[in-house]
């Protein structure tokens, strides 16, 4: 144990170059997944389909949103109208509404004078800087959701086949149902083993009998917070059952739509097509109040961004990031792919930087895949839970390209019994007996107190990774989606390789690697002993595989010592070593750093 005194450390790095490695994840093929999933697992709305019309065939009407009579006032190709009439289509929704006009607005926004930009517009332009070069947004125009009053003897699969064979329809699919997957001064922080695991006892559900955990089977959040605790400019959309935006440990971190907050009730003050969407939107009930009526979304939001160091309840991974509440899952924890894509589209268009998706289904829906591609084209990070089926692959949307898929581990770094796994899963994170926030009026999980509850699932693992993405973007707001994903995967702690392609999330190592894009020197803490052994570390991607790296340590007293750091065998570019400190007389290059109370020590290295 170190006897701390007032020595401050500074790191100086010279002759630096930044190196970014982009990792592209191969998408799982539809056939591979479909062959392994029982048909009985496929749930869909029994009287709805989703179609995409070919570019030459479109409903040319402004009456499509909200739902309107199938053909009343709508202009469509004769073939589509005949099918609508044959199967008694009664309602039509346009999905991704105003897509073309929104894209035109975005292009105009790029040339708008900076002095005329709103804060929301500035945020949108800043986010576009990290969008992948040369990747265009997919064409989301032409998607429609059709509801039928089916004639007796007809079923939706037969209807689907006819629309699929219609020459004016590019794609047609069922509207599938998806389901939820399941050291600050905050008083319950010591019970949050996933953030800091010292082998402590913690409250559990009684289902897994794991407490106490194994030391260091955690995401090293506390060490990461020595460097960064999150930025209020980073917005994480929790696409889920809603969020209790009044919760005392979340209300200070809620994203707010300022024009609506300060506008006129009943008026679309910001012109985004949604009235009074102050905290987000509810696509399950089609209203502007995304309050959580189940408790799942609030629990996830708490893992990501419950306010840190505020004296209340729990601590989120990112203490200061903003949470956007986007509800599409019902009180039962289920929703449709049609509502899911509208939720994704809303979150992207209203400034979210990270999308956290603790839900999934066993179907490959092109509609959902297009929504994921759209988020990627706009520079938005998409994180999704792998699923709770104990299958050797992730479900959808976690299986799609450009999605960070997350498996769940327990407090001993073992795969959670329920978690999906395999090389097609990108990363693992804690997901068993997780203590987080409880939405008012809900009783989901094992209740701990009025404000918190305990849940397990890949649903809980996903928001740990989402919070880590928010932390990384608070370091470098221009980091690309590929760079964020690459950092997360390369910085993990090792676990059973059968769980995922990388390891278990380590936020501290990810932070160091992100900082290391510009070279980072770090030590045990901000303040060290005048008489002890101090660990010194360095991460620099530019000098990986060097084996050793010298670093000069100097004190205000005039001492100068050279420390030789050795490269980690498990992480290229990570170096570590130590030096002894003493309060004695200065003696240059004697292997001991002579220091005095209150001095500043400087570390310098050259690459």
Cα 460 to Cα 17, 296, 304, 331, 419, distances in angstroms: 37, 9, 10, 18, 11
**CA distance linking residue 241 with residue 294, whole number of Å:** 6
Torsion of CA 242, 246, 251, 257, to 10 degrees: 60
Catalytic residue selected from 77, 321, 411, 459: 459
Give the pLDDT score at 61: 42
Cα-Cα-Cα-Cα torsion 273, 274, 279, 285, nearest 10 degrees, comes to -140
Q: What pLDDT score does 25 carry?
A: 19
For residue 548, what are its two tokens?
Answer: 């050793």
Beta bridge partners of 437: 452
pLDDT at 28: 22
Q: What are residue 591's phi and psi, to 5 degrees? A: 85, 0
| 176/50 Cα distance (integer angstroms) | 9
**Per-residue pLDDT tens digits for 21-32:** 222 212 222 222
Given 186, 204, 240, 433, which residue is catalytic?
240
Helices (H) and strands (E) in the chain, counts: 13, 24
Range with the lowest mean pLDDT among 58-72, 195-209, 265-279, 347-361?
58-72
Handedness of CA 261, 262, 263, 265 (dihedral sign): positive
Structure token digits, residue 438: 């409880």
Residues 6+ apart with CB under 8 A from 409: 217, 415, 416, 419, 428, 429, 430, 431, 432, 461, 495, 499, 504
Is 268:257 a contact under the CB 8 Å cutoff? no
pLDDT per residue as tens digits for the range 395-441: 999 999 999 999 999 989 999 999 999 999 999 999 998 999 999 99
Inform me whether the pLDDT recorded for 183 exceeds 70: no
What mean pLDDT, rounded, does the chain reach?
Answer: 84
Q: Return residue ranges of the chain for CATH 3.40.50.200.
A: 180-511
Report which of 124, 131, 125 is spatially closest to residue 379, judged by C-alpha positions: 131
pLDDT in tens, 322-347: 999 999 999 999 999 999 999 999 99
Running DSSP on this structure, what letter comes out for residue 20? -
Taking only the tens place, the pLDDT of each residue in 206-248 is 776 566 778 877 889 988 998 889 999 999 999 999 999 999 9
The yes-or-no verdict on residue 42 having pLDDT over 70 is no
CATH 2.60.40 domain extents, the chain: 8-16+519-606
Query: For domain 8-16+519-606, which CATH number applies: 1.10.1740, 3.90.1750, 2.60.40, 2.40.128?
Result: 2.60.40
Q: How far is 329 from 178, CA to CA, in rounded Å?
A: 8
| Mean pLDDT to the nearest integer, 351-377 | 95
Q: Is the pLDDT of residue 10 over 60?
A: no
Q: Is the dihedral of CA 468, 470, 475, 476 positive or negative?
A: positive
What is the CB neighbour count within 10 angstroms for residue 209?
A: 8
Helices (H), 112-239: 119-128, 156-164, 221-225
Is the pLDDT at 524 greater than 60, yes or no? no
83 exposure class (CB count in 10 Å sphere: 0-12, 13-18, 19+): buried
Q: What is the pLDDT of residue 134?
A: 85
- Please list the residues that pair with 146 across neighbouring strands: 49, 92
User: For 37-51, 169-183, 264-278, 506-520, which range has the lowest pLDDT when averaged over its residues?
Assistant: 37-51
pLDDT band at residue 601 using 50, 70 and 90 as cut-offs = confident
* 235 neighbors 354 (Cβ within 8 angstroms): yes
Residue 287: active-site member: no
Of 537, 549, 553, give the one whose Cα is nearest residue 586: 553
Helices (H), 435-522: 458-475, 481-490, 507-515
Known catalytic residue at 459 = yes
Q: Residues 441-468: pLDDT tens digits?
A: 999 998 999 999 999 999 999 999 999 9
Of residues 76, 136, 41, the one with CA closest to residue 396? 41
Residues 583 and 560: their CA atoms lie apart, in Å, by 14
| 266: its two tokens | 């009943």
The proportion of the chain whose per-residue pLDDT surpasses 70, expressed as a percent, equals 84
Across the range 465-484, mean pLDDT stands at 94
Domain 180-511, what fold?
Rossmann fold (3.40.50)
Give the other-Cβ count within 10 Å of 566's Cβ.
Answer: 12
Q: Coil, helix or strand for 366?
A: helix
Tens of pLDDT, residue by residue over 92-146, are 999 998 999 999 999 999 999 989 999 899 999 999 988 888 899 999 999 999 9
- Active-site hit among 296, 299, 402, 483: 296
Helix (H, G, I), strand (E, B) or coil at 93: strand
Residue 171: phi, psi to the nearest 5?
-140, 150
Task: Write down the pLDDT at residue 515.
Answer: 82
pLDDT > 90 fraction of the chain, expressed in percent and rounded = 60
Question: Is 36 or 275 the better-scoring residue by pLDDT?
Answer: 275
Q: Per-residue confidence at 471, pLDDT binned at 50, 70, 90?
A: very high
More confident residue, 574 or 570: 574
Residue 582: active-site member: no
């Amino acid at each position: 144990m170190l006897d701390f005194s007032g020595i401050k450390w500074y790191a100086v790095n010279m002759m630096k170059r930044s190196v970014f490695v982009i990792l592209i994840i191969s998408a799982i093929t539809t056939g591979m997944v479909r062959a392994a999933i029982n048909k009985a697992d496929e749930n869909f709305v029994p009287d709805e389909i989703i179609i995409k019309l070919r570019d030459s065939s479109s409903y040319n009407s402004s009456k499509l949103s909200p739902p309107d009579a199938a053909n009343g006032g709508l202009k469509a190709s004769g073939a589509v109208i005949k099918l609508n009439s044959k199967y008694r289509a009664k309602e039509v929704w346009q999905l991704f509404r105003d897509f073309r006009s929104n894209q035109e607005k975005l292009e105009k926004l790029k040339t708008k004078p900076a002095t005329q930009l709103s804060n929301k517009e500035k945020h949108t332009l800043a986010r576009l800087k990290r969008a992948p070069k040369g990747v265009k947004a997919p064409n989301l125009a032409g998607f429609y959701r059709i509801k039928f009053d089916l004639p007796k003897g007809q079923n939706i699969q037969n209807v689907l086949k006819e629309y699929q064979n219609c020459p004016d329809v590019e794609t047609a699919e069922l509207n599938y149902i998806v389901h939820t997957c399941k050291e600050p001064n905050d008083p319950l922080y010591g019970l949050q083993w996933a953030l800091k695991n010292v082998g402590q006892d913690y409250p559990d559900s009684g289902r897994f009998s794991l407490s106490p955990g194994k030391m260091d089977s955690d995401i090293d959040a506390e060490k990461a917070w020595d460097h960064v605790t999150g930025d209020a400019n980073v917005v994480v959309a929790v696409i889920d059952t809603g969020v209790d935006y009044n919760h005392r440990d979340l209300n200070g971190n809620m994203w707010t739509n300022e024009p609506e907050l300060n506008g006129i009730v009943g008026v679309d003050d910001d012109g985004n097509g949604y009235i009074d969407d102050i905290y987000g939107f509810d696509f399950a009930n089609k209203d502007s109040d995304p309050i959580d009526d189940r408790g799942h979304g609030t629990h996830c939001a708490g893992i990501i961004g419950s306010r840190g160091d505020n004296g209340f309840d729990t601590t989120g991974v990112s203490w200061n990031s903003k949470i956007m509440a986007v509800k599409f899952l019902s009180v039962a924890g289920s929703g449709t792919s049609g509502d899911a894509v509208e939720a994704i589209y809303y979150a992207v268009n209203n400034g979210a930087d990270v999308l956290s998706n603790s839900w999934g289904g066993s179907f490959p829906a092109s509609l959902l895949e297009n929504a994921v591609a759209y988020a990627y084209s706009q520079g938005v990070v998409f994180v999704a839970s792998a699923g709770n089926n104990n299958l050797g692959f992730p479900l959808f949307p976690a299986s799609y390209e450009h999605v960070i898929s997350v498996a769940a581990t327990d407090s001993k770094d073992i795969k959670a019994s329920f978690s999906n796994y395999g090389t097609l899963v990108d990363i693992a994170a804690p997901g068993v007996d997780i203590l987080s926030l409880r939405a008012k009026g809900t009783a989901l999980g094992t209740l701990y107190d009025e404000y918190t509850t305990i849940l397990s699932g890949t649903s809980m693992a996903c928001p740990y990774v989402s919070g880590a993405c928010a932390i990384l973007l608070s370091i470098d707001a221009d980091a690309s989606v590929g760079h964020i994903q690459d950092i997360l995967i390369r910085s993990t702690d090792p676990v059973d390789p059968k769980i995922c392609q990388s390891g278990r999330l380590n936020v501290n190592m990810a932070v160091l690697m992100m900082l290391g894009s510009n070279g980072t020197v770090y030590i045990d803490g901000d303040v060290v002993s005048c008489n002890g052994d101090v660990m010194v570390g360095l991460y620099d991607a530019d000098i990986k595989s060097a084996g050793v790296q010298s670093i000069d340590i100097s004190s205000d007293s005039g001492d100068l010592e050279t420390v030789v750091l050795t490269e980690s065998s498990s992480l290229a570019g990570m170096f570590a070593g130590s030096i002894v400190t003493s309060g004695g007389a200065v003696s240059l290059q004697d292997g001991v750093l002579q220091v005095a109370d209150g001095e500043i020590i400087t570390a310098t290295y050259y690459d």
